[in-house]
Structure 1
């Protein structure tokens, strides 16, 4: 049994022939547009049949690295990395990886080339220990101290995340790299069984740190960042739990609640996570192009959105007034009609409404 033999027709007619004559960036683009979707569907289908068979997975990855390596580098590296048998896979696939992939600028290079000391007889754990010790500037003993009741890594991680998103300019690539590596750490140490207590501590500390930042000084749209990370993870061959940091839609939190039979700490974690994600979605307004909002929508949002996100809408209103572009009679009329609806009335801030009327009183007369 092998992936190649099971997919001979596809590899000939769906891969080799369409890509024949294409090289370099042109070949990559052709693959992404016309071949990748079906190729990945077949990868996943085959993987599901062999996911618990190490020898079959080794053969499978050797085949993919040989044929698809230059076209699917990130996908293959991180699929191997997030596999529950990553240590065995990396040890046996070192030669294949170095032969078919370019690791020069890859963050995972040290792991795949075993340039780190193992920890607990695991190169993956050794890589994570070295990576987070360096990134978070941990002291020599902090890595060993992290457990269910002590949180030195969690404390330093939440501080690092908040400092990074408020730094100018932000290093978004490093941010995504840290979250991906923490997701791997989370899957190794806290998902068998799923540690809802640790998840609650992490999301609570992150929420409290995040609240201290002026939303207008945040330089990274975390909602977009987390969505990109989760999309990337969802496309990999294994199905890792998302870490509590990036669990935007609470998929892993809900899986944890089910695994723990809806224990109270699972539910508290879920509720805290929802609170944090709602705050992120509110703050994402600071990264929107509000110049495209029509006046009625802009004024409705200014009157109904909670602080601090409301500041973004008020700032856009002020900008338009300064440019001499106030709303016209028709736009004011549409606005007054919409604020009369019950769903708007329930969340309406009457003080903001009064300010808008005062600033545009001629149109309201």
Structure 2
């Protein structure tokens, strides 16, 4: 019995049930070069390029009979300035409590990821390259890690490689069960070298956070704030996001395919953003990985081509150095805008990053 801090178990009162609490986190910083942000080249030190910086607590307590109490509190921050992420929320990345059982599954309540993130993110270039800039336009398909407040989430046990899940989020509007509410469903299947995943998320009264360099249903979505955020986020009546993914490990080569749909609905109108991505990772050795991806996105008459390349070398199981590049080319008349960047003055944009990451 004890408390686990940074991999060390500390003793606790022996009269209590078997329990543990773990302190964990990621610190990641990189030097970046961007060829065009608002018509200018930019050199910068960027925080959380391979994976966003974070620290948190997670723990569980054995309740007997195969049941466990679980919790997670996770904070996001910038390593360059020390400021809080997620708009200044103390535990803006995750905050939930729940019950878990190997026989009946896990139910949790709080601020959580929907199944677009938990089921499909590992199949995306943003995870494989690794570079947060390689996630898709404005992270509208939620693969970069968008959260939902007031969520009740259930994940089943894994049976013959299959796992299912469902989530419902209360909107927080007294007397209104629809406004600001959300629902999500997901499934994963793993058998040997084959991995499959599917997810669906619907959100009422949706407000996007990041720009994509064009308009949707007549509403401009071009980021003008820090990290390409929208200065005045619009509200859509409903957003429906869905996706399918497949991966296959073939010796040292991992091959993956991903398809997502983002359906904007507002005042009886609809616009759909489609993205198709293929990527591959080659394991040169136990510590050195190369990766590449290509993604094609289309929204009405606008389209985008995105290419990402990356190399990742591990000094140890917890420390690695990464080099990556992401290039985006939009159709004529559309300002290229990579995720987490302000728009280019042209229809192309590229970023190159060299960084160091440590996990604990």
Larger radius of gyration: 1
When the two structures are superposed, what TM-score results if normalisation uses the length of structure 2? Answer: 0.25
User: Which protein has greater RCO, CA pairs closer than 8 Å, 6+ apart?
Assistant: 2
- Higher share in helix: 1
When the two structures are superposed, what TM-score results if normalisation uses the length of structure 1? Answer: 0.25
